[in-house]
């Protein structure tokens, strides 16, 4: 309360200063009005869009000096410094640009300034400040409703995230407007694209269904990334970091600038290595980025190529809760109930409680490479209309290797090992599971923007051709079975077509309406046999219609209110199909009705916003404990579930050198009429338990972030970053014994920039993560069973590192 009272006093003081109005009109060199131009007051949270007459207004600004920046696609950016001591009106003329800018490539899939959706945008400068070697989920971690996790415990290697409690395979991701989600699983594996942040110019996150986009359905959010844009001057940059757990990051980037007024080339090489916090959870990653473009006043042709290669030691099993809690009897139970072998139990008992890793085989690794090729083309037909087209191809290939003890030959379709005296039916073995795939297609959009209307007609088609197979590369008793014995092979062929129309019309200077209608068709064929030797042959066809409607009201030039409704439909992913019991109920598509209502206010030293959401699910796929015919867990559709909450955000510039930004999400996430299924080892069947309304797993009711930035002297910046994540249940039963504790983690970052003369500048940075050494876990899994009349569990939690650090430098040439 004392802190809140102090802030209110400061705000009262800010609002009490002398104030004046700043207005203006933006025109072309032909004296034609430019509606839709973006006006930003640098160093503040203020922004505006010019109306149909090219006019804008910033009312009641505190008197003082400002830098005004104006931008409009196809025109040169305009910047001017003003001193405000009384009401001021500006006449601004924008010059046509000799070359178009790359922002046109993501225009169709992004939310406009006045779109009725909840969104956040991060620019290149913000991304570079956060990029010390950790993956995208940790760089975006302080945006609203965002929770990140790391298998290795330090944000390098296999990482993931959830937005509003929704995991990555329900979040749509695009790069330059091109689908990035793996088409069959819907997942995004950032480990395959190490250091992509160093080649990203902007990131936009739309929470909820958002606007129509390309690729996988958005059931929690969309993340839209744009890679490096045109830089007219040549440049060279080196970024290097080193820190705890032998973590090292080295990145070199260079660009030609604009050559002969038309050509530009950019390149990047990156290498990241880390031992990880968890035992043996090392990571080795390499990546590159190349782009070349031809720019003119009417068109852009750009080729973008980027690739990543990773080798990581598996830390996928987590740490059993009995090991975390030093429960000796519980660890012994793992052996007594045949969950672990005697050797594995002994290793667990002797291990560190927070860094224990079940896997000890030296090559228990994941190995994968992914190559992306994008050809982008934009053509401007006039001042109001332009067309985007893109062709893309992605190739992925890799495997993970596992040591498996005492495996039945029959489970692999192998022949038993027969000796003179005996028939051996099981063996220790080493196996590899391979994935080899091609993903290709095209996108298209026609964009019209004139006076009061903003219309986009877009479409996209893509095809995924994937091969899944497994090999036994060694066995203690190989017998007559050939080397590299292939025990399963399956394929997946999936095509995805969509077409959408977006229309935003200004009814008046204060009121605009938004409509968005998408049709999507999916054909998915699966063939072959799975790793459990089951026949996978099946075909699926879906037709989805996804309407979206919204209204935006601008009561003043520095505030916005909006209301929207959007429908999303999502097809089951490959594992939903392949894991389903062939003799039981089959998975069907999910439907989401998303209602959003928000208000935003921006003043020169203060901004605030609130967004209310209600997400109603029909047939959401969840884990209930049910199993298929071979005993594997399956996801099943539940009739009704929902998420509802409020997202609050605020920012205040307390002093010219001190600012504070914070956001909080308060939510309720429920499954209506939930029934849990538990394996009963005593009976050989499953017990069903009707629980009623429960909490959706991994959906904390509170997520909060705070970032305090302080610049005590020029070029020295200190940031104190805090995140609080409330309690999460790790299954859908709402049982406290199967949950993640709430946690509060604080990080401290210092950066200092010097300009020595022989290079443009050097930024030295130090980041201390988990400053107060909090012990916490961000993810987990659990398996429950009944044995000898009592309920027990087998689980795995993912502890995160205690206090650790990274230090490094960014050098610009």
- pLDDT tens for residues 266-277? 999 999 999 999
* pLDDT at residue 786 is higher than 80: yes
pLDDT in tens, 356-380: 999 999 999 999 999 999 999 999 9
Q: What pLDDT does 15 receive?
A: 41
pLDDT in tens, 67-126: 888 987 778 888 898 888 889 999 999 988 777 777 888 888 888 778 899 999 998 888
Higher pLDDT, residue 351 or 83: 351
Q: How many CA atoms lie within 13 A of 259 on its CB side?
A: 11
229 phi and psi angles, rounded to 5 deg = -105, 175
Give Rg (Cα) of the chain.
28
DSSP letters, 369-402, are EEEEEEEEEEEE-SSSEEEEEEEEEEEEEEEEEE
pLDDT in tens, 160-194: 999 999 998 999 999 999 999 999 999 999 999 99
Per residue in 215-248, is it b (16+ CB within 10 Å) or e — as a string? bbbbbbbbbbbbbbbbeeeeeebbbbbbbbbebe
Cβ atoms within 10 A of the Cβ of 434, count?
16
Using alpha carbons, select from 562, 545, 511 the residue that is nearest to residue 212. Answer: 545
Place of tokens 């099943």: 636
List all residues 6 or more positions away from 136 whose beta carbon is below 8 Å from its beta carbon.
Answer: 159, 190, 196, 197
Using alpha carbons, select from 44, 79, 49 the residue that is nearest to residue 62. Answer: 44
User: pLDDT category, 4, cuts 50, 70, 90?
Assistant: very low
Q: Write out the two tokens for 404.
A: 């498996």
In order of 213, 548, 794, the CA distances from 513 in angstroms are 19, 11, 52
Distance of CA 373 to the CA centre of its chain: 21
Mean pLDDT for the stretch of residues 584-596:
95
Record the pTM: 0.91
3-state secondary structure of 177: coil
Q: What pLDDT does 3 receive?
A: 40
Cβ atoms of residues 306 and 287 within 8 Å: yes
Q: What pLDDT does 109 receive?
A: 86
Cβ atoms of residues 211 and 548 within 8 Å: yes
Q: What pLDDT does 223 receive?
A: 95
Q: Write out the two tokens for 489.
A: 């092979």
Q: Write out the two tokens for 436.
A: 């080899």
Of 401-410, 417-426, 605-614, which gets the smallest average pLDDT?
417-426
* Ramachandran assignment for 80, one of left (phi > 0), alpha (psi -120 to 50 degrees), beta (any other): beta
Angle between helices 342-349 and 328-336 (to 10 degrees): 170
Using alpha carbons, select from 798, 470, 517, 660 the residue that is nearest to residue 14. Answer: 660
Per residue in 534-558, is it b (16+ CB within 10 Å) or e — as a string? bebeeebebebebebebebbbeebb
Higher pLDDT, residue 101 or 703: 703
């Amino acid at each position: 309360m004392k802190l809140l009272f102090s802030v209110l006093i400061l705000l009262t003081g800010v609002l009490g200063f002398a104030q004046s109005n700043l207005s203006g009109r933006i025109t072309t060199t032909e004296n034609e009005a430019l509606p839709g131009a973006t006006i930003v007051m640098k160093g503040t949270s203020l922004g505006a869009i010019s109306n149909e007459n090219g006019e804008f207004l910033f009312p009641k600004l505190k008197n003082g000096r400002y830098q005004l920046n104006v931008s409009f696609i196809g025109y040169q950016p305009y910047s001017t410094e003003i001193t405000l001591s009384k009401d001021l009106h500006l006449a601004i003329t924008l010059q046509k640009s000799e070359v178009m800018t790359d922002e046109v490539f993501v225009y169709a899939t992004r939310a406009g300034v006045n779109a009725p959706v909840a969104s956040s945008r991060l620019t290149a400068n913000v991304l570079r400040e956060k990029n010390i070697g950790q993956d995208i989920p940790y760089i975006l971690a302080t945006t609203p409703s965002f929770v990140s996790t790391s298998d290795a415990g330090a944000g390098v290697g296999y990482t993931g995230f959830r937005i509003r409690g929704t995991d990555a395979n329900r979040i749509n991701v695009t790069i330059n407007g091109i689908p990035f989600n793996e088409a069959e699983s819907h997942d995004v594996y950032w480990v395959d694209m190490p250091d992509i942040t160093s080649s990203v110019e902007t990131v936009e996150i739309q929470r909820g269904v958002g606007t129509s986009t390309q690729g996988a359905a958005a059931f929690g959010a969309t993340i839209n990334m744009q890679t490096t844009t045109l830089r007219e001057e040549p440049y060279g940059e080196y970024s290097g970091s080193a820190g705890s757990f032998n973590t090292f990051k080295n990145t070199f980037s260079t660009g030609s600038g604009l050559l002969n007024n038309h050509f530009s080339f950019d390149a990047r090489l990156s290498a990241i290595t880390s031992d990880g916090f968890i035992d043996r959870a090392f990571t080795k990653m390499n990546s590159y980025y190349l782009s070349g473009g031809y720019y003119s006043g009417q068109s852009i042709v750009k080729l973008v190529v980027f690739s990543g290669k990773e080798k990581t030691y598996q830390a996928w099993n987590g740490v059993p809760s009995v090991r975390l809690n030093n429960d000796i009897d519980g660890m012994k139970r793992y052996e007594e109930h045949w969950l672990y072998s005697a050797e594995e139990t002994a290793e667990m008992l002797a291990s560190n409680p927070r860094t224990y890793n079940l896997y000890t085989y030296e090559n228990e690794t994941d190995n994968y490479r992914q190559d992306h090729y994008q050809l982008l083309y934009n053509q401007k037909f006039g001042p109001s209309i332009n067309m985007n087209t893109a062709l893309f191809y992605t190739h992925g290939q890799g495997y993970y290797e596992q040591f498996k003890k005492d495996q039945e030959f029959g489970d692999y379709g192998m022949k038993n090992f027969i000796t003179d005296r005996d028939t051996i039916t099981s063996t220790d073995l080493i196996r590899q599971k391979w994935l080899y795939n091609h993903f290709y297609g095209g996108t298209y959009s026609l964009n019209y923007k004139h006076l009061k209307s903003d219309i986009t007609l877009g479409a996209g088609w893509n095809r995924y051709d994937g091969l899944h197979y497994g090999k036994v590369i060694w066995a203690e008793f190989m017998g007559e079975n050939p080397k590299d014995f292939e025990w399963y092979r399956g394929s997946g062929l999936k095509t995805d077509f969509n077409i959408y129309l977006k229309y935003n019309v200004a009814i008046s200077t204060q009121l605009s309406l938004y409509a968005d209608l998408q049709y999507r068709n999916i054909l998915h064929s699966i063939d072959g046999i799975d790793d459990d030797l089951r026949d996978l042959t099946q075909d699926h066809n879906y037709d989805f219609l996804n309407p979206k409607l919204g209204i935006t009201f601008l009561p003043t030039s520095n505030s916005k209110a909006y209301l929207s409704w959007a429908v999303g439909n999502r097809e089951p992913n490959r594992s939903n199909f392949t894991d389903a019991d062939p003799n039981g109920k089959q998975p069907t598509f999910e439907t989401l009705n998303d209602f959003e209502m928000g208000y935003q206010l921006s003043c020169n030293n203060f901004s605030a916003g609130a967004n209310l959401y209600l997400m109603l699910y029909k047939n959401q796929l969840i884990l209930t404990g049910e199993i298929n015919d071979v005993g594997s867990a399956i996801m099943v559709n539940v009739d009704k579930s929902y998420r509802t909450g409020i997202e609050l955000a605020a920012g205040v510039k307390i002093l010219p050198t001190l600012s504070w930004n914070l956001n909080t999400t308060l939510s309720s996430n429920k499954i209506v009429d939930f029934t849990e299924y538990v394996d009963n080892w005593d009976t050989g069947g499953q017990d069903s338990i009707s629980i009623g309304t429960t909490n959706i797993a991994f959906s904390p009711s509170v997520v909060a972030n705070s970032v305090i930035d302080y610049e005590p002297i020029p070029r020295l910046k200190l940031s104190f970053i805090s995140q609080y994540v409330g309690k999460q249940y790790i299954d859908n039963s709402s049982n406290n014994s199967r949950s993640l504790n709430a946690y509060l983690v604080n990080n401290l970052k210092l950066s200092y920039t010097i300009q020595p003369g022989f290079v443009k500048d050097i930024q030295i940075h130090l980041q201390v993560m988990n400053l107060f050494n909090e012990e916490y876990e961000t993810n987990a899994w659990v398996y429950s069973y009944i044995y000898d009349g009592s309920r027990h569990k087998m689980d795995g939690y993912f502890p995160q590192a205690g206090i650790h650090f990274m230090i490094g430098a960014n050098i610009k040439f």
